[in-house]
Structure 1
Amino acid sequence: MQQTRVEAAKKLLEQTAQQMTEVIFNSGYNDPKAFRKIFRKTVGMTPSQYRDKFQSR
């Protein structure tokens, strides 16, 4: 389940300009701190770093 949510968050970070809180809630998390911890552990970078690197321009 965690992996599915992280993949959803990655897609939102890449394809939308949603604020981070929107991405967190839209990918199924209610706790931003927990989301950031899980995202960083799974992906190897913070959500903001991921967006900067992979967002479609």
Structure 2
Amino acid sequence: MSESDKVSMLELYGRKMGDVQYDALDRDDVIEIIDATIKRPMMKNICLIAEPGMGKHMQ
């Protein structure tokens, strides 16, 4: 995953959660949390940061 993909996903997550993470943590911490979620496919909370319809091809 490229650095630009990580920032994109971070921004998506921030929009979904109301930018709470930007205030609570610095950007590097938030990116690490998102990466940890991506590396565990059994966790369903990745849907919180995906655009509508992105996961349909994975089923």
TM class, shorter-length: 0.3 to 0.5
What TM-score, normalized to structure 1? 0.34
Say which one has the larger Rg: 2
